[in-house]
A = this chain, B = another copy of it.
Amino acid sequence: MKPLSLNTVTVREKWGLAECIEGCARHGIPGISPWRDVLAAMGVDAAARQIRDAGLTLTGLCRGGMFPAADAAGRAAAIEDNRRAIEEAHKLQARSLVMVCGGLPPGSKDIQGARRMVREGLETILPEARAAGVTLGLEPLHPMTCADRSVLSTLGQALDLCAALGEGVGVVLDVYHVWWDPELSHQMARAAGKIAGFHICDWLVPTTDLVFDRGMPGDGVIDISGISQMVSAAGYDGFVEVELLSRRWWAEEPDEVLRIMKERHARVV
């Protein structure tokens, strides 16, 4: 069974990074994946030390990307931010830097243009990522986030980009974003050696919000076990992160969230 990792966004309303690290140790969760806001609050050096001292594996740093912008200054600022993210991922020895690539610039209807900005942004930062030994993990996001979060929408599209960019680039797969895709099993056959991260949560029926209504694994309709087997068949035997953006679970006591996610991980993966 793939070992479990806590993505810190899952308990973001009640725990900072120090509490997440202690919580993982207390619950016997061997991996952690911080978002950069909680990382900044603790400081990168202190975080690296405490994560190492707790014996945790840092499975991914969330997140780089967000390349498209309305003007050159905005695009340059995005590149600068991605450089800082690479440096942080290097210091933390993160297994990958998760890339949420960005949507349309405000006011734009030019999706091809936004896709070009994503590719150009990745090409610009890739030499530095390679030099730092940081894998860029391209995460295709659900098409409902295309306008404002990610014009990278499918596994097939992410693998095409991997192939074009070459070494140092992989894909991060979240079942929430890819479960609906009729091309999923076909594309998974191309993903061997390219999977840099695997995230789980669940699709609820009904879903009441496009961003903040993800379900606890097992509470929805995604065949998580089936997708996990595909990911194994593609040669990935790394960690599985639970990443919940959910108003319902954010309101819960974090120790209870960790207890339940550990139990669900054992059942559904």
Contacts and interface: CB of A to CB of B under 8 A. Distances in A.
A198 interface: no
A226 B222 CA distance: 34
Interface residues of A, number: 33
* Chain A facing B: main interface SS: loop
Interface stretch (A11-19, A57-65, A87-95, A199-207): A199-207
How many copies of this chain?
A: 2
A194 interface: no
Given A143-B143, A210-B210, A221-B109, A148 B205 contact: yes
Contacts of A71: none
A81 interface: no
A55 to B, nearest CB: 35
Nearest to A225: B109
A61 to B, nearest CB: 26
Contacts of A154: 182
Contact of A144 (B104, B108, B210): B210
B206 A182 contact: no
Contacts of A110: 223
B221 A104 contact: yes
A147 interface: yes
Given A143-B180, A208-B210, 9 more contacts: A104-B205, A108-B221, A111-B223, A115-B182, A143-B144, A148-B205, A148-B206, A154-B182, A157-B182
Interface of A: 104, 108-111, 115, 142-144, 146-148, 151, 153-154, 156-157, 179-183, 203, 205-208, 210, 220-223, 226
